[in-house]
């Protein structure tokens, strides 16, 4: 399975259109999974998922063969912020449906607290809810974004590979 992962692909906070972002994948019958960032509401992600036939992973999961993906969008700061408890609870809730998958992939917008990504910025704190989910749920892989300056950074937290996929994206073979 190949995954193209990207975060904050708009590149400009003033550019809010999804035209040309999701549609081309759907037209080619590619499955699109998404989560809201820190400038979109979960309702916006639900709307886009319904409009394009995509899957919103914010509090939900998706299983394909022996690979399970689960996630939480938004962040612990910003207009539509979630508390650390809400972040962890959404991840735990969505994880329970894929817990028996051979490979488990967690998808979040915000990065984990204590990660090297957090040290690149004083403005965007990492999430202790995400770190707690890594430690308790033990996903094989965490895909995140949020800190644009940390694009491409890969690190291990416990046995979980954490990748900031950034807006240019990354192709990952599972």
88 lies in some domain: yes
Q: Does 23 map to a domain?
A: no
What does the pLDDT read at residue 60? 96
Residue in the block written with tokens 């979109």: 40
Could you tell me which residue, 171 or 82, shows the higher pLDDT? 82
CATH number, domain containing residue 48 = 3.60.21.10
Strands 170-173 and 160-164: unpaired
Q: Strand pairing partners for 67?
A: 64, 103
The residue that leads in pLDDT, 149 or 46, is 46
pLDDT band at 103 (very low <50, low <70, confident <90, very high): very high
Question: Does a structural domain hold residue 29?
Answer: no
Residue 11 has pLDDT above 80, yes or no: no
Note whether residue 95 is domain-resident.
Answer: yes
Query: Number of structural domains, the chain?
Result: 1
Residue 77 lies in a domain: yes
pLDDT at 14 over 60: no
Answer yes or no: is 82 within a domain.
Answer: yes
Domain annotation covers residue 104:
yes
Whether the pLDDT of residue 141 is over 90: the answer is: yes
Is-above-0.95 flag for pTM?
Answer: no
For the chain, the average pLDDT equals: 83
The average pLDDT across 148-158 equals 77
Q: Is residue 146 part of a domain?
A: yes
- The end-to-end CA distance of the chain, in Å, is 5
What is the largest distance, in Å, between two alpha-carbon atoms of the chain? Answer: 41
Q: Which pLDDT value is given to residue 8?
A: 56
Range of the domain at 50: 2-11+35-173
């Amino acid at each position: 399975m190949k995954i193209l992962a990207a975060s904050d692909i708009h590149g400009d906070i003033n550019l809010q259109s999804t035209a040309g972002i999701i549609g081309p994948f759907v037209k080619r019958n590619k499955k699109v999974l998404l989560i809201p960032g820190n400038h979109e509401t979960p309702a916006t992600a639900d709307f886009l998922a319904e409009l394009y036939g995509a899957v919103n992973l914010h509090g939900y999961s998706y299983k394909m063969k022996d690979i399970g993906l689960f996630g939480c969008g938004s962040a612990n700061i910003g207009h539509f912020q979630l508390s650390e408890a809400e972040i962890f609870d959404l991840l735990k809730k969505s994880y329970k449906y894929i817990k028996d998958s051979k490979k488990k992939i967690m998808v979040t917008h915000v990065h984990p607290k204590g990660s090297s990504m957090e040290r690149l910025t004083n403005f965007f704190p990492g999430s202790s809810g995400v770190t707690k989910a890594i430690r308790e749920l033990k996903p094989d892989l965490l895909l995140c974004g949020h800190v644009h300056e940390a694009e491409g950074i890969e690190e291990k937290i416990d046995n979980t590979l954490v990748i900031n996929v950034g807006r240019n994206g990354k192709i990952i073979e599972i």
